[in-house]
């Protein structure tokens, strides 16, 4: 299958590109030249948009991983998750692409509202409208907190780095829960979504373990694997962020034949092993 990937330079993008290149004809559109261990066509375009219509010709699937993280500046959320997404969809509107896959976040299904979550909700709305207008199969994968070797950002990365260095770890909200997804499982879900048969032309699918845990339990798992103790600083919950997360992996299991295979202790062990 001929696949075009946007956001291949990111953590998930690098892993996904390597995985798909083994079985598919993969092209990536990036601002700078990227190299991979498998044969991958890299199209360099500083704007990402001028080359997109031509790059999409002859492609069957577009996977768009471009997006901000929750800690980015407020303006960046709208620029990347809304304005840029709108331009991307306009650029491929007349392309022969049969399926578009966009990565969102589980946080959109919560009641919380902040610039990041709002921008992701707006992005999903853009993709829904695109699907209705063009009759293109469009899949939104709402990922939980992805972690793995080499990723220093995110809750797992920050906790692991600080515990490894013997530094205190701040937990925002004693009862705050999140779902943690190992990188291999996230990539597997993305790979399966390329050719899966979905019930509707537009579909949203939760990609998660379905087993959210408190942040203190996450830290306990990390320190157990490290064989170290960590001083904990309990802080109030972050404003405008959900205390608990809703994750429903049933559709992913039914449609993708997918479930998260990596347990938290196993994933943390592999993540920390990459630090040593």
pLDDT, residue 73, reads 76
pLDDT for the residue numbered 162: 95
Count how many residues are written for the chain: 276
For residue 241 the two structure tokens come to: 């962020």
Task: Name the phi and psi angles at 7, rounded to 5.
Answer: 90, 25
Of the candidates 219, 144, 210, the one whose C-alpha atom is nearest the C-alpha of residue 174 is 219
3-state secondary structure of 8: coil
Pairing of strands 2-6, 25-30: parallel
Q: How far is CA 238 from CA 68, 72, 112, 242, in A?
A: 18, 15, 11, 8
| C-beta separation of 67 from 7 below 8 A | yes
Give CA–CA dist 226/219, Å, rounded.
10
The DSSP secondary structure of 130-161, one letter per residue, reads: HHHHHT-EEEEEEE-EEE-TT--SHHHHHHHH
CB neighbours of residue 7 within 10 Å: 21
CA distances from 62 to 170, 186, 212 (A): 39, 17, 30
One digit per residue, the tens of pLDDT, for the chain of length 276 reads: 999 999 999 999 999 999 999 999 999 999 999 999 999 999 999 988 999 999 999 999 999 999 998 766 788 999 999 999 999 999 999 999 999 999 999 999 998 889 999 999 999 999 999 999 999 999 999 999 999 999 988 999 999 999 999 999 999 999 999 999 999 999 999 999 999 999 999 999 999 999 999 999 999 999 999 999 999 999 999 988 999 999 999 999 999 999 999 999 999 999 998 776
Domains of the chain, earliest start first? 2-273 (3.40.50.720)
pLDDT at position 274 is: 72
Can you give the pTM of this predicted structure?
Answer: 0.95
Rounded distance, CA 25 to CA 61, Å?
A: 11
Contact 206, 142 (CB under 8 A): yes
**pLDDT of 71:** 66
* Whole-number Å distance between alpha carbons of 176 and 235: 11
């Amino acid at each position: 299958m001929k696949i075009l990937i946007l956001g291949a330079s990111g953590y998930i993008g690098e892993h996904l590109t390597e995985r798909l290149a083994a079985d598919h004809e993969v092209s990536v559109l990036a601002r700078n030249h990227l190299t991979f261990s498998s044969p991958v066509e890299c199209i360099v375009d500083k704007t990402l948009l001028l080359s997109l219509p031509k790059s999409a010709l002859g492609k069957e699937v577009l996977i768009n991983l471009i997006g901000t993280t929750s800690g980015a500046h407020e303006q960046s959320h709208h620029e990347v998750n809304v304005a840029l997404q709108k331009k991307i969809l306009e650029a491929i509107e007349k392309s022969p692409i049969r399926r578009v896959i966009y990565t969102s976040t589980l946080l959109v299904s919560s009641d919380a509202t902040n610039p990041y979550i709002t921008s992701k909700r707006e992005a999903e709305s853009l993709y829904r409208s695109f699907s209705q207008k063009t009759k293109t199969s469009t899949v939104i994968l709402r990922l939980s907190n992805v972690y793995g070797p080499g990723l220093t950002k995110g809750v797992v990365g920050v906790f692991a780095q600080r515990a490894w260095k013997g530094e205190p770890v701040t937990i925002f909200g004693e009862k705050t829960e999140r779902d943690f997804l190992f990188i291999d499982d996230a990539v597997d879900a993305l790979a399966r979504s390329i050719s899966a048969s979905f019930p509707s032309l537009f579909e949203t699918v939760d990609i998660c373990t379905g087993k959210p845990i408190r942040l203190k339990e996450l830290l306990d798992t990390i320190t157990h694997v490290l064989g170290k103790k960590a001083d904990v600083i309990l802080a109030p919950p972050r404003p405008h962020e959900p205390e608990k997360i809703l994750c429903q992996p049933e559709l992913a299991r039914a449609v993708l034949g997918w479930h998260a295979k990596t347990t938290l202790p196993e994933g943390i062990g592999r993540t920390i092993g990459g630090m040593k």
